[in-house]
Amino acid sequence: MSARVTVARLGAAAFLLPMLAPGGAAAQTFPVRPLRIVVPQAPGGASDALARIMGQRLAERWHQQVVVDNRTGAGGIIGTEIVAKSAPDGYTLLLAYDGTHAINASLYKSLPFNTLNDFSTVATLANVPFVMAINPALPAKSVSEFIAYAKANDGKVNYGSAGNGSANHLLGVMFSKGAGVSLVHVPYKGAAPALTDLIGGTIQAVFTSMPSVVGFVQAGRVRALAVTSAKRSATLPNLPTIAEAAIPGFDVHPWFGLLAPARTPAAVVNRMNEDIAALIRTREVADAFAAQGAEPFITTPEAFNRILKRDIDKWAVVVKESGAKLD
């Protein structure tokens, strides 16, 4: 081999190194600057709580600042679009859940991003059961008593949600259909204002995430009737499931996870997935999740992608049954 050919090959290799670095060497040193987790919901809900727990632990592990950035509006679309259009380098992540990703894919006629193709699935964090809660002034002490009350007051019982087409809204649709009652839907701009009006008596019921309501339940400010998952929650073990209390087969416990912009290098995605999984396995994070009523849920990026595809199809059926459509 001539010296000229050797030099030429070395020069070509040196030229390629910067292009290969994001997928290889960069993953070894990642991250080298502050990161941002975009939460497309208002503070006070499950997404915000989980983002802050993970943000703190990731900052400690990575020795970099992790900023939680709440970007609300348009049912989660505004924050989601920000991440879809961010640089695919792993430094901007989206705290997503069924309500902002799987549901919106069917709820909106058009989106400024492709729910699947514009994102890289990084890691699931937790499954979170939702809670059926009512104002304590109502006479109902159980799901069956609430159903009887709703039937006796047909069209007069309101339930609040985080907005039209949100998971809270569709849970109410599913419950109403399964129980054979007619509940009036009142949309809010987030779960927190809906809970405020529930406590104040403006509305009578909500179907909301465990992290957003557990403190109010334990303080006696709202009355929890049941959880929406197929099995009881360790956070409120005496609380029955809707399935065992009144509607067999009822099971909704949305996943929460982190997404990155599409084309984020696989090596960086895998590095993040491994570090996140390691943190979720620690006692500190497990306890922090449990305090929020969240159940740790660890998957690979590939498994997360399959779950996302499955749930887009699942929620499409519920959205169609609800008749909800947004422009």
DSSP 20-39: HGGGTHHHHH--SS-EEEEE
Report the CATH superfamily, name and number, of domain 31-127+254-322. Bordetella uptake gene, domain 1 (3.40.190.150)
The pLDDT score that the predictor gives to residue 4 is 47
Structural element, H or E, at residue 163: none
Neighbours of 224 (CB within 10 A): 20
The answer to whether 192 touches 42, Cβ cutoff 8 Å, is yes
CATH of domain 130-245: 3.40.190.10
d(CA 200, CA 222): 10
- What mean pLDDT do residues 87-105 have? 92
- Tell me the H-state helices in 156-300: 167-179, 191-200, 210-218, 242-245, 266-280, 283-291
Give the predicted TM-score (pTM) of the model: 0.79
Question: 255: which strand partners?
Answer: 127
130-245 shares the fold of 31-127+254-322:
yes
* Residue type at position 31: P
pLDDT tops 50 at residue 12:
no
127-131, 200-204, 277-281, range with the lowest pLDDT: 127-131
For the chain, the domains span 31-127+254-322, 130-245
Q: Is 44 exposed, middle or buried (0-12, 13-18, 19+ CB in 10 A)?
A: middle
pLDDT, one tens digit per residue, over 125-177 is 999 889 999 999 999 999 999 999 999 999 999 999 988 888 889 999 999 99
CA dist., res. 72 & res. 20, Å (int): 36
Q: What three-state secondary structure class fits 292?
A: coil
Band of residue 17 on the pLDDT scale cut at 50, 70, 90: very low
